[in-house]
Amino acid sequence: MSTIATPVTSPAAADREPRPVPAPIPFGRLVSVELRKSVDTRAGFWLLASVGIVGLLATVAVLLWSPDSQLTYSTFSGAVGFPMTVLLPMIAILLVTGEWSQRSGLTTFTLVPHRARVIGAKAAVTIGIAVASTVLAFAIGAVGTVIGSAIAGVDQVWDMTPGDIASIGLAQTLGMLIGFMLAAVIRHSAGAIVAYFVYSFVLSGLTELLAQSQDWFGDLRPWVDVNYAQAALFDGNLTSAQWAHLAVTTVVWLALPLAVGIRVLMRAEVT
């Protein structure tokens, strides 16, 4: 006859209460961690620092070389905002690809097993930086307008409406999200940065050349060229047709690839 051994439980273990399940990490803390990670690396720090440095240099350049008639709010804000349009998506790229290129993903996704929360925090930081940089650009532009008008002895020209400012802010945010999307799809810093420059500059140059040489593409371009559609945001006062162009191109070139990229991030192996 066989006997079944029964586990021996000490009285102390029997009286011990079950350990409570720890509460999940608050989303706000995840956002603060991701924001800190965006400046912890030397590349991230100097990218953010270069935004302010280039903004100041652009303001000084306008003061030194622009004619008095061009010392307007739009001139100063545009001079500051253009370098930001190029530099800021790099921050979004490094923020996403850092988990794979710096091999920190294993730690991140072990501490926060639900990847969607981490990806959401990175997206929130990306949008937050886009909004903050837009505010910074227009603040520097306002200072430049006041100082430039005082030095030149001309009247201050505030030639931008709140609608114009909101349109430019939307353009900056879309640019940041394009960098975020490419990083999610490629998951490699250098590859995503190269893809961004091809996406934003090489592709727009090719479509411009095609539009000038082929009449049929000139009419089709607003519906298929995302850079052309987003460029209208910098001019402000979009028509209903231009809003439709922006919506279609954003869905095709940003929303759909972003959905694919997020799905890849949720399943990609982390080493």
64-100 pLDDT, tens digit per residue, is: 888 888 888 888 888 888 888 888 898 899 888 877 7
In a domain, 172, yes or no: yes
In a domain, 198, yes or no: yes
Q: Is 41 helix (H, G, I), strand (E, B) or coil?
A: coil
Q: How many domains does the chain have?
A: 1
Q: Give the pLDDT band (50/70/90) at residue 125.
A: very high
Domain interval for residue 143: 25-265
Residue 71: its pLDDT value, please? 85
Residue 72: its pLDDT value, please? 87
Model pLDDT for residues 148-172, shown as the tens digit of each residue: 888 888 888 888 888 888 998 999 9
**Residues 43-82, buried b or exposed e (16+ Cβ, 10 A)?**
ebeebbeebeebbeebbeebbeebeeeebbbbbbbbbbbe
Distance CA 116, CA 124 (A): 12
Q: In this structure, are residues 257 and 179 in contact, taking their beta carbons and an 8 Å threshold?
A: no
In a domain, 165, yes or no: yes
Closest CA to 72 of 127, 141, 137, 119: 141
Residue 17: its pLDDT value, please? 67
Question: Global pTM?
Answer: 0.85
Distance CA 164, CA 179 (A): 23
Q: Give the pLDDT band (50/70/90) at residue 13.
A: low
HSE of 198 in the Cβ direction (CA atoms, 13 Å)? 7
In a domain, 184, yes or no: yes
The alpha carbon of 47 is separated from its chain's Cα centroid by a whole number of angstroms, namely 13
In a domain, 68, yes or no: yes
Q: Which is more confidently placed, 174 or 11?
A: 174
Q: In this structure, are residues 93 and 103 in contact, taking their beta carbons and an 8 Å threshold?
A: no
Distance CA 143, CA 147 (A): 6
Does the pLDDT at position 263 exceed 80? yes
In a domain, 63, yes or no: yes
Cα–Cα distances in Å, from 99 out to 112, 115, 188, 251?
A: 13, 11, 9, 27
Residue 46: its pLDDT value, please? 80
Distance CA 135, CA 156 (A): 20
Closest CA to 185 of 265, 86, 92, 104: 265
The alpha carbon of 191 is separated from its chain's Cα centroid by a whole number of angstroms, namely 17
In a domain, 18, yes or no: no
Binning the chain into helix, strand and coil, the percentages to the nearest 5 are 80, 0, 20
In a domain, 6, yes or no: no
Q: Give the pLDDT band (50/70/90) at residue 254.
A: very high
